[in-house]
Structures are given as structure tokens and as C-alpha cells.
Amino acid sequence: MVDSWVDSAERIGADLHLEPAGPGGRRAALIRALREAVRSGRLAPGTRLPPYRSLAADLGLARNTVADAYAELVAEGWLTARQGSGTRVADRDAASRPAERPPVRAPAPARGPRHDLLQGTPDASSFPRAAWLASYRRALRQAPNEVFGPGDPAGRPELRVALTEYLARARGVRTEPGRVVICSGFAHALRLLFAPGGAVLRGPLAVEAYGLRFHRDLLAAAGVRTTPLPLDEDGARVDRLGRERAVLLTPAHQFPTGGPLHASRRTAVVDWARARGGVLLEDDYDGEFRYDRRPVGSVQGLDPERVIYIGSVSKSLSPAVRLGWMVLPERYVDGVLAAKGEREAWASVLDQLSLADLLASGAYDRHVRRMRQRYRGRRDRLVEVLAARAPHVEVTGVAAGLHAVLRLPAGTERSVLRAAAGEGVALDGLAAFRHPATDMAAWDGLVVGYATPSEHAYGAALDALCRVLPPAPRPGPASG
């Protein structure tokens, strides 16, 4: 199908915007306009010009006028005409070539740190290009024509059905397609839920004392005050929930410290929401990547009417795709749709269909399984290297996700980060994620993303990391 489209574009020739004007008649004006288009590089060498009749129709000229203009430009060497290949812009020699447009090229990556251990992105080299392309082609071939009209703000039914099945199977989410609303990712979901003047949610919103600053800033910009819940080894202290009507948590894998929310707290937060008429926003950002045997499903499965479940492909596929989903309690569906607007303005309908196909064909599951294995291998290597070279450093949060936290002795985080910068190692300290208003004691630590470096760069990145870690404390004097 794609091939036949290319064929017909070749046959018809490129669409061409020209404004022939000026003295000397129509033919002369057209010749000037074409010459100028070639000279300026707007028409690149080799470009096929439209057939006489279509350019004549577009410009309201007689066919012969266009034919004469082409013939003159061929004679002057601006164009070439060959039987069967139409009229094209001549590939002129370098001396007389008009200012050439440089080829379109991805910008060279800026020189960054030598070792990238920043959390946040999956392995970019593993994006399933072939599977995505196959799904895109299939989706495009099968799409009814109405797909190319304005999109429904709820999202394509194909995707909502595929997600309903997938989320139930893989994450224990209980829903039906009518409660799934497609968005462009978690950040977009927050914007929709707290849209100023919107009818869905209002602050204050309880959040974890350590979390993504970008999300806190986004909420602040929407006029939402966030109140921090302290963390301990069992996750967020949901017993400290106060007057808020909504709480945002990362229950499967606390971001960034890494533990799951303890089972008793999962039920406690649902009980709180029931008792107060509140709601839990469940950020399931990397729920697919769990490496130990204990599955941690969604809290949403405990009470679909008290939890807004939010996920995206940002960790499983790529944050560049910009596709996410909300699974909503019935009472919020209309408000979220109203916040989205009359038509889909965010998530490309073609990408939605592509993802639906990826899910329905099993290719998404295969990709997630493959990546889980790869990340588990990365995680194991990190743990082994640290056990051998820095056994005094405690590694936490490694049962899941794409990053680990190395706990540091109190008061050492800043100096370790300085040393890391000196070694060209990019990574964050826990302080970068701390809520400014929290009263919990600070946790010193490094957040080490292990998904980003390419396979061949990972060993050197781990070496460099070990070099910047604080030395083992000296054993104290032997007690008698």
C-alpha cells in the first residue's frame, strides 16, 4: 500500500507552489518563477515537476504556456526532460548550482557527560522499530475512513478495548473500555485532572515526600498545593493523610526510593478514600518491570471507584511516543472528557491504532518481556559490581524498575555528586526529588538509572560510579 502511494506520487509529480508575476507576459513570468525556485534551492536537483496539464490547471494557464516555459528552461539547462521520466530539475554542476539546502539530518548530540546514569529513560536503542512499523502498517491498512476525521477525546475504541484486556491481565486493573480515557502521558493526565476551572479534582493533593519535581511544578503551575507524606521502609505514611481529598502515590515502585507500598497501607489508603469520599491517583509508571517473584498488582483492583489508575508507554516503549491512559471511576469520566475538549487534540489517532495493534498482536508483551530480561541483567550487574567493589554501600529499590538507589551515609550526598561530576558521571542525588515542605529526615543517596547506557558503555559507567563512592568506614577500635 505504501509502495503504491509512492508510485503515484512519482507519476503525478511534486505539488508546486509558484506565483508567476511581473512584466513580459505569462510565459515569461512562469519562467522567472521556476528559475527562482531552482536557484533558491526550493526545488532540489532531481525533483520531478508536475505534468503540464496539472500545473496549467493549478495556475490557470494554457497548457502550451507551461509546455513552452518547461522547454525554454530545458534549453537553458535548468531542467531536464527525458522520455518516460518527465521533466526534472537538472543536477547542475557545483559551480553554477544554486545555494543548496543542506540535507535534513538529526542534529549532532550535544556533548554530554561521559557516563549517563540518569534515571528516567528506557534503553533508546531497544525501541521495537520493526514491530511498531508492522503494527502501524497493519493499522493504517485496516483503518476505516472515519479514522482520518476528528478524533473522539476518549481515544480510539480499539485502543481502549486492547488496554482493558491488557491492564486486567498484566496489572490486575478492573475496568471496561468506557472508563478508559487516552491521553499523552502521565503529565497530561495530571493537567486534565487538575485543569484550572475544571470539574474533576482540586487541591490540596497529598504526594510522597520524595517524587518527581517536574510533577510538583506542573501541579503548582495549575494552582494545586501539594502536601508531602513522609516515607519509611513500607512506603508512604498514609496514616498521615489529613484534610486532602486526593493523594498521588507510586504504589508498585515508590519513585524514586524504590520500595512497594506495603499491603497494609494499600488497604489503608483505599479505606481512607472510602471514608472521606477521596480518591487515590495511582501512578503505575514502571509497573511492567518487576524482577522478583512477588507480583505487585495495581491498587485500583481493590476498589475501581476509589482509584484513578494512570499509565503510559514512557518506560515500556519510549517517552517520545507520548501515549498514556487513565482508568477512571465512573463519576470522573465526563469531567475528564470535558477537560480534553471536543476533539482529540493530543494523542495521534494513528499512534493510538498502532499501539492497539501492538497490544492485540502480542508484540507489546514480547517487547516488555525482552526488556524485562535485559534490565534485570543490567540490575544484576550493578548489584554484583557494588557487592564486589563497594560492599559497604546499601543498594535499595532493585526489585523493580529501571533505576536503583544507593544509600549513602548522612551528609555525604553532595560531595559524592561533586566527585561524580568530576568523573563525567551524570546521575541525581535523592535531594533532587525531595519535597521542599517535608519534615521527614533527609535520606542521602544516589539514584542510578541503569537502562540508558548502551550495552558497550555500561561497564565503564559502573567502573566510574564505583570510583566516586565513599570509601568503606574504618573499623572502630576492637572492643574487649
**If binding is defined by CB under 6 A, does position 301 make contact with ligand PLP?**
no
Give how many residues touch ligand PLP by CB under 6 A: 14
Selection from 336, 383, 354, 24 nearest residue 200 by Cα: 336
Q: In whole angstroms, what is the distance from residue 296 CA to residue 400 CA?
A: 10
**If binding is defined by CB under 6 A, does position 194 make contact with ligand PLP?**
no
**If binding is defined by CB under 6 A, does position 285 make contact with ligand PLP?**
yes
Residue nearest to ligand PLP (CB): 185
Nearer to ligand PLP, 33 or 427 (CB): 427
Nearer to ligand PLP, 70 or 186 (CB): 186
Q: In whole angstroms, what is the distance from residue 406 CA to residue 429 CA?
A: 9
Tell me the angle at which helices 129-142 and 349-360 cross, rounded to the nearest 10 degrees. 110
Measured from the Cβ of residue 313, the count of other Cβ atoms closer than 10 Å reads 20
Q: Which of 283, 344, 351, 428 binds ligand PLP (CB under 6 A)?
A: 283
**If binding is defined by CB under 6 A, does position 249 make contact with ligand PLP?**
no
Annotate 116-182 with DSSP letters as a single string.
Answer: E--SS---GGG--HHHHHHHHHHHHHH--GGGGSPPPTT--HHHHHHHHHHHHHHH-----GGGEEE
* Residue 431 and residue 442 in contact, taking contact as beta carbons nearer than 8 Å: yes
Nearer to ligand PLP, 313 or 356 (CB): 313
Q: Which of 324, 329, 401, 429 binds ligand PLP (CB under 6 A)?
A: 324
**If binding is defined by CB under 6 A, does position 257 make contact with ligand PLP?**
no
Task: Name the grid cell of 415.
Answer: 560531595
**If binding is defined by CB under 6 A, does position 191 make contact with ligand PLP?**
no
Q: In whole angstroms, what is the distance from residue 102 CA to residue 288 CA?
A: 43
Minimum CB–partner distance for residue 322 and ligand PLP (Å):
7
Nearer to ligand PLP, 52 or 443 (CB): 443
Selection from 354, 332, 299 nearest residue 142 by Cα: 354
Nearer to ligand PLP, 87 or 119 (CB): 119
**If binding is defined by CB under 6 A, does position 127 make contact with ligand PLP?**
no
Measured from the Cβ of residue 426, the count of other Cβ atoms closer than 10 Å reads 16
* Residue 117 and residue 130 in contact, taking contact as beta carbons nearer than 8 Å: no
Q: Supply φ then ψ for residue 44, to 5 degrees.
A: -80, 155
| Segment near ligand PLP (CB under 6 A); pick from 182-190, 191-199, 343-351, 380-388 | 182-190
**If binding is defined by CB under 6 A, does position 226 make contact with ligand PLP?**
no
**If binding is defined by CB under 6 A, does position 344 make contact with ligand PLP?**
no
Nearer to ligand PLP, 127 or 419 (CB): 127
**If binding is defined by CB under 6 A, does position 258 make contact with ligand PLP?**
no
* Residue 461 and residue 425 in contact, taking contact as beta carbons nearer than 8 Å: yes
Nearer to ligand PLP, 35 or 315 (CB): 315
Minimum CB–partner distance for residue 212 and ligand PLP (Å):
5
Q: In whole angstroms, what is the distance from residue 272 CA to residue 278 CA?
A: 7
**In terms of DSSP bridges, do strands 205-208 and 226-229 run parallel, antiparallel, or are they unpaired?**
parallel
**If binding is defined by CB under 6 A, does position 260 make contact with ligand PLP?**
no
**If binding is defined by CB under 6 A, does position 451 make contact with ligand PLP?**
no
Task: Name the grid cell of 258.
Answer: 524504590
Nearer to ligand PLP, 253 or 306 (CB): 253
**If binding is defined by CB under 6 A, does position 204 make contact with ligand PLP?**
no
**If binding is defined by CB under 6 A, does position 255 make contact with ligand PLP?**
yes
Nearer to ligand PLP, 31 or 398 (CB): 398
- DSSP single-letter state for residue 436: T
Measured from the Cβ of residue 85, the count of other Cβ atoms closer than 10 Å reads 10
**If binding is defined by CB under 6 A, does position 78 make contact with ligand PLP?**
no
Q: Which of 212, 281, 349, 448 binds ligand PLP (CB under 6 A)?
A: 212
**If binding is defined by CB under 6 A, does position 186 make contact with ligand PLP?**
yes
Q: Which of 38, 154, 187, 328 binds ligand PLP (CB under 6 A)?
A: 187
| Segment near ligand PLP (CB under 6 A); pick from 145-153, 184-192, 289-297, 435-443 | 184-192
* Residue 461 and residue 116 in contact, taking contact as beta carbons nearer than 8 Å: yes
Minimum CB–partner distance for residue 354 and ligand PLP (Å):
17
Nearer to ligand PLP, 128 or 258 (CB): 258
**In terms of DSSP bridges, do strands 235-236 and 231-232 run parallel, antiparallel, or are they unpaired?**
antiparallel
| Segment near ligand PLP (CB under 6 A); pick from 47-55, 180-188, 363-371, 379-387 | 180-188
SS (H, E, C) 185-253: CHHHHHHHHCCCCCCCCCCCEEEECECCHHHHHHHHHCCCCEEEECEECCEECHHHCCCCCEEEECCCC
Q: With 0-12 CB in 10 A as exposed, 13-18 as middle and 19+ as buried, what is 337?
A: middle
Minimum CB–partner distance for residue 185 and ligand PLP (Å):
3
Virtual torsion, Cα 195, 201, 206, 207, nearest 10 deg: -50
**If binding is defined by CB under 6 A, does position 253 make contact with ligand PLP?**
no
Where does this chain bind ligand PLP (CB under 6 A)? 120, 185-187, 212, 250, 255, 283, 285, 312, 314-315, 319, 324
